[in-house]
């Protein structure tokens, strides 16, 4: 069954890098920092439940982000845009 709620959009960024220029085009509802892949996954999933239909940023060390993405079956490098809903995580193109 398809998810009837709007997905939340997580923008995952390297905490030590400058934000990408396209980030200014988004209405960001919240910004968070995390360390450790398990903490990132938990933060993204909990925050996605609160930010349905909105975008939020998670900044973390790149190795932690890469591992968090791999645990959700996603490859790629940061910055990366991920939609989250009850069907899981999926990457989308930046705006």
**Edge-first strand listing for the sheet containing 80-85:** 28-33, 55-60, 8-14, 80-85, 88-92
Q: For residues 90 and 9, what is the distance between their CA atoms, to the nearest angstrom?
A: 10
Tokens 């930046």 sit on residue: 94
- Give tens-digit pLDDT for 31-90: 999 999 999 999 999 999 999 999 999 999 999 999 999 999 998 888 999 999 989 999
Q: For residues 66 and 62, what is the distance between their CA atoms, to the nearest angstrom?
A: 6
């Amino acid at each position: 069954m398809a998810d009837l709620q709007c997905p939340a959009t997580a923008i995952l960024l390297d905490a030590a890098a400058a934000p990408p220029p396209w980030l200014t085009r988004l209405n960001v509802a919240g910004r968070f920092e995390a360390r450790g892949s398990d903490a990132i996954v938990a933060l993204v999933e909990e925050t996605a439940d609160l930010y349905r239909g909105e975008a939020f940023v998670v900044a973390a060390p790149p190795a932690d982000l890469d591992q968090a993405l791999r645990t959700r079956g996603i490859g790629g490098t940061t910055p990366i845009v991920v939609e989250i809903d009850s069907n899981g995580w999926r990457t989308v193109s930046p705006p």
